[in-house]
Amino acid sequence: MSGNNPAHLMRTLSRIWAWLFLLALVIFFSLTGEGFFSLFNLQAIGANVAILLIMALGQTFVIISAGIDLSTGFVMGLASVAGAMAMTALPPGTPLPLIALTGLAVGLGVGLIPGLVNGLIIAKLKVPAFIVTLGMFGIARGAGFLLSGGMPLPVSIQGLGRIGNGYLFYYYPSQGLSFLNPPAGVTGVELRQVTGILPHPLTFAVILVLAAHWLLKHSRFGLHTYAIGGNQEAAIRAGIPVDRRTVALYMLSAGTAALAGVLYNMRFTNGAANSGEALLLDSIAAVVIGGASLFGGEGTIIGTVIGALIIAVIQNGLVILGINPFWQFVAVGVVIILAVLVDQAKEQVAS
């Protein structure tokens, strides 16, 4: 076993470069940006990245299977519109948990439809995923705007914003930790001294990340996803129900996009057809930066998490440094190309 040959070194490097890069970014912004390395700001990064990250989870599976889902951004928008309409349609006085669950169920249900259609057309009619999901990109976009009448739909329901912006724990120096709500009796300016711990979007994202990681790494479905992406012909001959798996993969991708849409409802208390427009390419970028190959067969959930964090840290850090926000696009673009270069260098050394 040669531990020092260039191929081995390159493989190790390609596995950990994203971690090192993220670490370097955090160190850099901590040293240069006032307030970057604080509990409040780091949690804000976590809460802000949640929607993007959740959307990227399903995309990770699709990309590992050698597919691509270009429709997720507008599926998220469509789901957020549907969720908002459902929640505002409920009679006044409906308990908050029921409202939230209705939004979740309707958003998810509506969001899964484009995924089902994508999957069926790709699996049964053998149309390339790029084309099918590009078509669905337009369809979901149009449907979202038609449903919402072209305007964002406000969801003014008491307490709903708390779900998207609240914390799991609150800490107030004289009263210790409290669960879900700031300590009773703390009001007015005192509230500013309350520290929130674990923003809900972050908790929600962490749960989904763990579930997705388990599914990809330890389940039959995950293994089949890698097999389909690595050699679809081999997967078919091994008796894997490739068509059914393909439908499930695009439904998974649409499903995580829909969850992102519902989370958007809760966080911004509205539903908007274009709420995910900017997130589509960022979520694909997160997957690619995380080491997934667009040719399929490679990628991990942890990689996607790191990829999403790199994007979020760059965006947050540049804002803190007061740099023109348009540089964010440039920086993320550079990182994407860098990620692919590292991957190619690995392939070249290996062969």
Residues 236-275 vs other proteins: string with x where CB under 8 A?
-xxxx-----------------------------------
Find the binder of other proteins among 218, 325, 327, 344 (CB under 8 A): 218
Q: Could you identify the residue written with the tokens 């979520």?
A: 283
- 290: helix, strand or coil: coil
Q: Alpha-carbon distance 222 to 252, whole Å?
A: 12
Beta bridge partners of 176: 172
Smallest distance from other proteins to CB 245, Å: 11
3 is a site residue for other proteins (CB under 8 A)? no
231 is a site residue for other proteins (CB under 8 A)? yes
Beta bridge partners of 170: 178, 196
Query: For residues 261 and 275, is the Cβ–Cβ distance under 8 A?
Result: yes
Q: What is the dihedral of CA 227, 232, 237, 239, to 10 degrees?
A: 60
Find the binder of other proteins among 76, 113, 235, 287 (CB under 8 A): 235
2 is a site residue for other proteins (CB under 8 A)? no
Smallest distance from other proteins to CB 240, Å: 5
Please state the φ and ψ torsions of residue 156, each to the nearest 5 degrees: -95, 80
User: Which C-beta is closer to other proteins: that of 178 or that of 232?
Assistant: 232
279 is a site residue for other proteins (CB under 8 A)? no
DSSP, res 296 = S
Q: Alpha-carbon distance 339 to 12, whole Å?
A: 14
Smallest distance from other proteins to CB 260, Å: 25
User: Which C-beta is closer to other proteins: that of 131 or that of 211?
Assistant: 211
User: Which C-beta is closer to other proteins: that of 124 or that of 220?
Assistant: 220
16 is a site residue for other proteins (CB under 8 A)? no
Q: Alpha-carbon distance 209 to 301, whole Å?
A: 7
Distant-in-sequence contacts of 88-91, Cβ < 8 A, 24+ apart: 88/153, 88/155, 88/156, 88/157
Smallest distance from other proteins to CB 247, Å: 18
Alpha-carbon radius of gyration of the chain: 21
First to last CA, the chain: 17
Tell which positions 296-325 bind other proteins, by CB under 8 A: 297-298
Smallest distance from other proteins to CB 39, Å: 36
User: Which C-beta is closer to other proteins: that of 24 or that of 234?
Assistant: 234
Tell which positions 123-152 bind other proteins, by CB under 8 A: none
What are the tokens at 267?
Answer: 């966080």
Smallest distance from other proteins to CB 217, Å: 9
Measure CA 196 to chain center: 23
User: Which C-beta is closer to other proteins: that of 108 or that of 292?
Assistant: 292
User: Which C-beta is closer to other proteins: that of 63 or that of 318?
Assistant: 63
Q: Alpha-carbon distance 110 to 258, whole Å?
A: 8
Smallest distance from other proteins to CB 297, Å: 4
User: Which C-beta is closer to other proteins: that of 177 or that of 223?
Assistant: 223
223 is a site residue for other proteins (CB under 8 A)? yes
Half-sphere exposure of 156 (CA within 13 A, CB side): 1
What are the tokens at 89?
Answer: 């349609």
290 is a site residue for other proteins (CB under 8 A)? no
Interface residue list for other proteins (CB under 8 A): 1, 218-220, 223, 226-227, 229-231, 233-235, 237-240, 297-298
